[in-house]
Chains A and B, each alone.
Chain A
Amino acid sequence: MSDAAIALRDVTFAWGEAPPVLRIAELRIATGERILLKGPSGSGKSTLVALLAGVLDPQGGTVEVLGQDMKALGRAARDRFRAGRIGLVFQMFNLLPYLSAVENVVLPGRFMAGRAGKRADSVTHAERLLAALGLDDPALYRRSVAKLSQGQQQRVAAARALFARPGLLIADEPTSALDSDSRDQFLNLLAAECAAAGTTLLFVSHDDALAPHFDQTLTMAELAAARPV
């Protein structure tokens, strides 16, 4: 057990009998850090995200997230751990189109251990997050996300990922569809929210221009080549 937000050692993953798509000798990210992880398409970034989220199991090695060995958790416990401790934002935002903005944000509360508390508190918290992330028109909160712009949808996705006050926020190329101004504004807001909550941020992208927003930049190639200490 370590006090790092993320600690991976000798991790390999393959789909079935195929050759491994991911090899990581070692990865350590300290709590509260903001990390940019880069790598070309097909380098295993999304697989790494799934391993950290506890949705996939590695064939070898250990994956510790927020001090928890993911392999030691049963499937249901891992799902609850993800709902309560890990926030995820995807490239396509992955919102449920039949729910409103607020309903999408409070969704993790439905699946967290012990639930998120009272519904009214959840909604207030969700609205505060949406406002903090730049979606400050309350008229949009009850609107179906399918009727929001891409930028607005992205803020809803980020608010959903931060809803459970997660220890770790993993963002998988969420800014690839945005122009540079919107992207920078979004990253600043996201970083501020993470700092306020003490959340570690792992931001996956292949965009070099994002590096100034982060404490450290890692590449998939470096992770594969690193030797365990």
Chain B
Amino acid sequence: MPIHLLALKSLWSRRYVAGLTMLSIALSVTLLLGVQRLRSEAHDGFTRTISGADLLVGPRTGPINLLLYAIFHIGDPDRGISRATYDIIAAKRSIAWTIPLSLGDTHRGFTVIGTDENYFRHYRYGGSEPLGFARGNAFAGSDDVVIGSEVAGHLGYTLGQRIVLSHGLAAVSFADHASHPLHVVGILRATGTPIDRTVHVTLDAISAMHLPPPSPFAGVASSDDQTRARADPYSPYALTAFLVRLKSPQMIFTAQRAINGYRGEPLTAVIPAVALQQLWEVVGVAEKALLVVSALAVATGVLGMAVAMLAGMNERRREMAILRAVGARPGQIFALLMSEVTVLALGGLGLGMVLLNLLILAFGSRLADRYGVIVRPGLPDAQDVALLLLVLAAAGVGGLLPAIKAYRATLADGLTVRV
């Protein structure tokens, strides 16, 4: 009878303890792989918060600062870009499309973005996922508003809901644009990006809410308007930033240099993917900490296995003595114990994978709906396999102690158990 079969039968005779040991390894493996998948997905989601745009353009500032306030809506810009500048750049022949972004208002703590129809047509997140509507459609006029999934869920809004925006970016505002109520015409699907927490209106709506009644000269931005825009980032003449897609990706660095050197006003153009990666290096410490915690959980599981085996070792000395009597060498007793460790560890890994997939099947859609984190069930990928091999190696190290103890006990006991 091969040693591994003997190990299986021996384990089966202690199936309750072995089962619990396997379960503890399985739970730690589930945690480790779950964290790894979420971490990987969060990283991918973060670094792909925006895709499809070649450049993000804003007033002169640092790349991470521009990314934070224009895309993640964190912090305040200290200046804006005039719409005249935007119009000039957007009209360049090398540019395929642009998406204007105008921040400055909120709705019950959620950021309001003034933009145009290009936003819904061209904005991409994730790999190159377009924005989709859970209900309704894009805005058509200055009275329309499109809300993100989290806004709708949190505030309980549905299509046709009448809402009023508030001036400023503070969580609580005392200046409502009550004279310009809007109606919800669309609710976006969850994206797992800041878009879920955003209220989208047209640039015209922004203007209508902030400007005095139209005069015969409205629509012509004077040089005074441009000056005001640069001084006040929330001026209705200003844009906070805009996204640019070039007709040819080979033009990215040329366009970036040209915009950074624009003489009309000081501008910053950053490549979103590069800035996102830089930002992740700052915020990615938390996900590394999470991985360390789950690695500690695995260590606990493996240690639990070693403790369970050590605790049962005294009861098994008779079994070892029998094996010695029929000719088993101490090394084969050691191999038997290591086979048991391998069986427990492999069983734990397999069970852990099954548990993880069951959890994903049970809660995956809720994760996607609520947080936009898309985790799919399936076989382990290369990173998972590397982690699983590490767990197996850790189990092997953890199993050395009981195996060495068994080896020594068989040498000391001989054919009978000595106490």
Contacts and interface: CB of A to CB of B under 8 A. Distances in A.
B332 interface: yes
Interface string B320-362: 0111111111111000000000000000000000000000000
A99 B11 CA distance: 12
Given A79-B327, A83-B327, A94-B321, A49 B12 contact: no
B10 interface: yes
Contacts of A90: 325, 415
B9 A98 contact: yes
Nearest to B15: A98
A111 B318 contact: no
Nearest to A97: B13
Interface in A79-98: 79-80, 82-84, 88, 90, 94-98
Contacts of B10: 96, 98
A151 B191 CA distance: 73
A97 to B, nearest CB: 7
A218 B6 CA distance: 39
Which of B2, B318, B321, B322 neighbours the largest number of chain A CB atoms within 10 Å of its CB? B322
Contacts of A80: 327, 329
B329 A76 contact: yes
B61 interface: no
Interface residues of B, number: 25
Contacts of A95: 322
B329 A75 contact: yes
Given A94-B318, A95-B322, A110-B1, A49 B329 contact: no
A15 B2 CA distance: 34
B39 to A, nearest CB: 42
Interface in B262-297: none
Which of B3, B321, B328 neighbours the largest number of chain A CB atoms within 10 Å of its CB? B328
B225 interface: no
A33 interface: no
A56 B328 contact: no
Task: Give the secondary structure class of B's interface.
Answer: helix
Given A55-B414, A76-B331, A106-B1, A99 B9 contact: yes
Contacts, number: 74
A56 B327 CA distance: 14
Given A95-B322, A106-B1, A46 B327 contact: no
Given A98-B10, A106-B1, A160 B326 contact: yes
- Give the bracket for the number of chain A residues in contact with chain B: 20 to 34
A223 interface: no
Given A88-B415, A110-B1, A111-B332, A53 B325 contact: yes
B416 interface: yes
A140 interface: no
A79 to B, nearest CB: 4
Contacts of B319: 96
B414 A107 contact: no
Contact of B326 (A76, A98, A108): A108
B312 to A, nearest CB: 13
Interface in B385-419: 414-416
A53 B321 CA distance: 12
A50 B411 CA distance: 12
Contacts of A127: none
A107 B326 contact: yes
Given A49-B415, A50-B415, A97-B13, A82 B327 contact: yes
A90 B6 CA distance: 21
Nearest to A56: B414
Nearest to B418: A15
Interface string B1-36: 111001001101100000000000000000000000
A75 B1 contact: no
A111 B327 contact: yes
Contact of A103 (B1, B3, B329, B414): B1
Interface in A129-185: 160
Contact of A98 (B12, B328, B331, B415): B12
Which of B2, B10, B322, B327 neighbours the largest number of chain A CB atoms within 10 Å of its CB? B327
B319 to A, nearest CB: 6
A91 B401 CA distance: 31
A108 B13 CA distance: 20
Given A79-B329, A94-B322, A110-B6, 13 more contacts: A49-B415, A55-B414, A55-B415, A75-B330, A79-B324, A79-B327, A83-B326, A84-B327, A88-B325, A90-B415, A94-B325, A98-B9, A107-B1
Which 8 A-B pairs give the minimum distances between C-beta atoms? Answer: A83-B327, A111-B327, A98-B13, A55-B414, A79-B329, A108-B326, A94-B322, A50-B414
5 contacts: A49-B415, A50-B415, A110-B327, A111-B328, A160-B326
